[in-house]
């Protein structure tokens, strides 16, 4: 009879006494992991006649997929939109520090910047797996500079750009390279945006609509050309109006192509979006909601003056403003805080809150076959949380990469 060693010599770890988030429900069953992947125990028992080499008692914790942050501008004093000599050590620091907040993979985000910044920074961002060194990098999110002057928010006006005759060539010249780019946020009402959206989508890059004065038909047209995401819903776009709901109207539009889903990011920090607006969006289109932090360099630091790309921002409690104004500029919220606030504000289930930070961003990026779920053969990136959704331990590829000191096994 074959033993479990006939397939692999790698140890099999069995996580017991836990509730696993699987198929949208917390289920009381064990989690089996080998070589960084989640195992099907039936195959293990019946096909391999295998058993666990190590058993870990989870003490009734919730086990959920690792969080995926698709919009994070920096944190802990590091600003991804600043071209510095030690950029790589900065991105390493952030990827290490966000493990304690349950983030196992992320998209470092650059706000509107001069072309020279993109040309210096983007070659220093490489897509990589997570591990003890930090959360995995899924590719960059470029938010701007092809956005609306009227809805620029905290983006510097002198760096904004439009598409000229070459449209896609303009974009390539601005960014320098799309090799490590995962998401581009642009304003769909800009001339020639349709051809840019089509070309980006063809290259497997997710197009997000944001910082825009688009009306609903312009937004619908962008989706028909391939756009699939909305950058921080309600922020930096026309407010909802009953005769033309603008980009917000995509949540209930009947012009979305069959088989397609529009996702939308929300900064659930209690500041960027009133809880009532959070509830409206969630009730209108629950399966599209993606929690993002939109965190800036000041996340994890004391109040005071910090940067966001070319601008100076001021942190006052949980509020972040462009210095000397009342213009909101990103957040200092962590992903686990956003998940807890979302659950509290909407009264949704624990499962729903956790999936908004894991399953939905994975589906948005088309990586749900390996991230964002605890399905068999998925990457074993997962969290142990208590019932109040505080992270107790973070695992990447089945390996513990962070643990709350007070939480002993």
What is the number of other CB atoms lying within 10 angstroms of the CB of residue 283? 11
Which residues contribute to the annotated binding site for Zn(2+)?
A: 143, 211, 232
Question: Containing H/E element for 116?
Answer: helix 115-121
> Do 262 and 206 touch, CB atoms closer than 8 A?
no
Question: Could you tell me how many residues make up the chain?
Answer: 409
Tokens of 8: 């692999």
User: What's the mean pLDDT in 313-328?
Assistant: 90
User: What's the mean pLDDT in 357-378?
Assistant: 98
Which residues contribute to the annotated binding site for substrate?
A: 154, 235-236, 243, 272, 328-330
Residue-by-residue DSSP string for 56-106: EEEEEEEEEEPEEEEEE-EETTEETTS--TTHHHHHHHHHHHGGGGTEEEE
Q: What is the pLDDT of residue 7?
A: 64
Dist. CA 15–CA 21, nearest whole Å? 13
Domain 13-64+373-403: homologous superfamily in CATH: Urease, subunit C, domain 1 (2.30.40.10)
pLDDT confidence of 317, banded at 50, 70, 90?
Answer: confident
Q: What is the pLDDT of residue 407?
A: 54
Dist. CA 83–CA 146, nearest whole Å? 20
Fold of 66-365: TIM Barrel (3.20.20)
User: For this structure, is 9 an active site residue?
Assistant: no
pLDDT in tens, 185-232: 999 999 999 999 999 999 999 999 999 999 999 999 999 999 999 999
Which residues contribute to the annotated binding site?
A: 143, 154, 211, 232, 235-236, 243, 272, 328-330
From 79, 269, 294, 379, active-site residue:
294
Extents of the domains making up the chain: 13-64+373-403, 66-365
Dist. CA 129–CA 134, nearest whole Å? 9
pLDDT confidence of 46, banded at 50, 70, 90?
Answer: confident
State residue 222 phi and psi, 5-degree precision: -60, -40
Tokens of 241: 């109006």
């Amino acid at each position: 009879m074959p033993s479990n060693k006939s397939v692999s010599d790698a140890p099999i770890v069995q996580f017991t006494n836990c509730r696993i988030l699987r198929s949208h429900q917390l289920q009381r069953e064990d989690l089996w992991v080998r070589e960084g992947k989640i195992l099907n125990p039936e195959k293990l028992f019946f096909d391999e006649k295998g058993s666990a080499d190590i058993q870990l008692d989870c003490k009734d914790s919730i086990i959920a997929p690792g969080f995926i942050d698709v919009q994070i501008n920096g944190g802990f004093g590091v600003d991804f939109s600043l071209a510095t000599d030690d950029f790589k050590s900065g991105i390493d620091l952030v990827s290490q520090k966000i493990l304690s907040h349950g983030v196992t993979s992320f998209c470092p985000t650059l706000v509107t910047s001069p072309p020279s910044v993109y040309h210096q920074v983007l070659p220093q961002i490489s897509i990589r797996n997570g591990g003890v060194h930090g959360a995995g990098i899924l590719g960059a999110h470029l938010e701007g500079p092809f956005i609306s002057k009227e809805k620029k928010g905290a983006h510097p006006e002198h760096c904004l750009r439009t598409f000229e005759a070459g449209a896609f060539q303009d974009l390539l010249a601005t960014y320098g390279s799309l090799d490590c780019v995962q998401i581009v946020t642009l304003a769909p009402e800009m001339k020639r945006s349709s051809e840019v959206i089509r070309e980006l989508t063809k290259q497997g890059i997710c197009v997000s609509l944001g910082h825009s004065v688009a009306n609903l038909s312009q937004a619908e047209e962008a989706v028909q050309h391939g756009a699939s995401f909305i950058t921080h819903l309600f922020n930096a776009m026309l407010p909802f109006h009953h005769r033309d709901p603008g980009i917000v109207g995509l949540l209930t539009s009947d012009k979305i192509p069959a088989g397609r889903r529009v996702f939308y990011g929300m900064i659930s920090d209690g500041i960027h979006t009133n809880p009532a607006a959070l509830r409206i969006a969630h009730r209108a289109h629950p399966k599209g909601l993606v929690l993002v932090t939109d965190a800036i360099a000041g996340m994890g630091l004391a109040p005071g003056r910090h940067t966001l790309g070319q601008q100076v921002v001021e942190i006052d409690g949980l509020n972040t403003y462009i210095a000397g104004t009342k213009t909101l500029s990103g957040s200092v919220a962590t992903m686990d805080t956003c998940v807890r606030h979302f659950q509290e504000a909407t009264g949704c289930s624990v499962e729903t809150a956790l999936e908004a930070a894991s399953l939905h961003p994975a589906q948005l990026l088309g990586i749900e076959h390996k991230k964002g779920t605890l399905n068999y053969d998925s990457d074993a990136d997962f969290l142990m949380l208590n019932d109040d959704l505080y992270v107790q331990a973070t695992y990447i590829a089945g390996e513990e990469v962070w643990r709350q000191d007070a939480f002993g096994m």
